[in-house]
Amino acid sequence: MAKQHKTNPLLICIILFHAWLLAGAQPKPCAFIFGDSLIDVGTNNYLPGALATANQPWYGVDFPNNTATGRFSNAYNLADFIVNLTGIGTKSPPPFLKLVRNQADFRTKIQQGVSFASGGAGILNDTGFKSFIRVIPLGQQFQQFQTVSRNLTQALGAAKAAALINTSLYLISIGSNDLTEYFKFPSPNTSAHQFIQKLMAAYAKRLKSLYDAGARKFGIIGIPPIGSWPMSRSMNGGVCNETMNEAARSFQASTLTLLQNFSSTNPGVHYSLGDFYGITMSAINNPSAHGFKNVEDACCGVGPNNGLMLCRKPLSNLCTRRDEYLYFDFVHPTQKAAKIAAQFLVNTGNNFAKPIHFGELVKM
């Protein structure tokens, strides 16, 4: 009879452990961030000649070491808090244009997420250029993501890269600049309704291209009440421009319809649409309930409502009690306001996200 050999469990464990090391662990899901200045963390710092920049004081006045990072905030912004509160990371991932400068670490760093958001950007390819000279529109941001996707495949292999891309969060904030430019440079032959439908058609194509690249979890931040920005008030006698706010509400409703159709025709799509309009108006209508004392003026700026320009030291007035303000500059929220908004978007128990909240979306 042939001699039987006993299996050594320890040896098997060692072999399996080494096989796991060679294969490499699957990177955890991360965040890929697209859009405009609401969630830009410094993309435009790398665009020479761009006017939509926040890499100088008093931006970042409450950031560690008083650093102006490129965030349009006194410190952290909405993307930072959403990433943190969902448990994806401690703050927003860095800009693509920063990461791509260091090719040696590029394929490692992108496994932890990338931000493509650019201040001034819009859904349409031409949005932002009239006002800010240089921006990276949403379509070009998606092209940058394709570069990231190819590098993930080369670094991780097709299966692991696909798993990372499928399970990560795609956070998008876009549309405010498109509508703002519609009102700034009006076309007599295009109504607001027609223009919003044009935006929705382009938006649908953009989302489909991201879906085709493997994205499945879409966290969409709706646009704010653009007619209630300090900038809008400054040109409207200190009160909200209700025509602009009506367009923002219509954009929100149209985006919800778009996402419902998008998810029904593309298998595996999950989404959450955040009602940033509703969150902001709840603070404007009841400031004390949110801990604000001033919801009409910018903390940092010049002119009526401090709403005539970006925050620029020493030209701008800077408030001392920034947590009492809803707005930091002429259109962007303070760090406190961004944190409150993120809590509403991420956590259940309120009606500011449909059909689920961002926290639930990340766990799916």
Give me the active site residues, please. 37, 329, 332
- Residue 170 DSSP one-character state: E
* β-strand pairing of 294-298 with 325-327: parallel
Q: What share of the chain is helix, strand, coil (3-state, %, to 5)?
A: 50, 10, 40
83 with 92: CB under 8 angstroms?
yes
Locate 40 and state its tokens: 């830009």
Beta bridge partners of 325: 294
Locate 52 and state its tokens: 């939509």
Give the phi and the psi of residue 352 in degrees, each rounded to 5: -100, 15
Query: How far is 136 from 128, CA to CA, in rounded Å?
Result: 9
Q: Where on the phi/psi map is residue 198: left (φ > 0), alpha (ψ -120 to 50), or beta?
A: alpha
Mapped onto helix, strand or coil, the DSSP state of residue 171 is strand
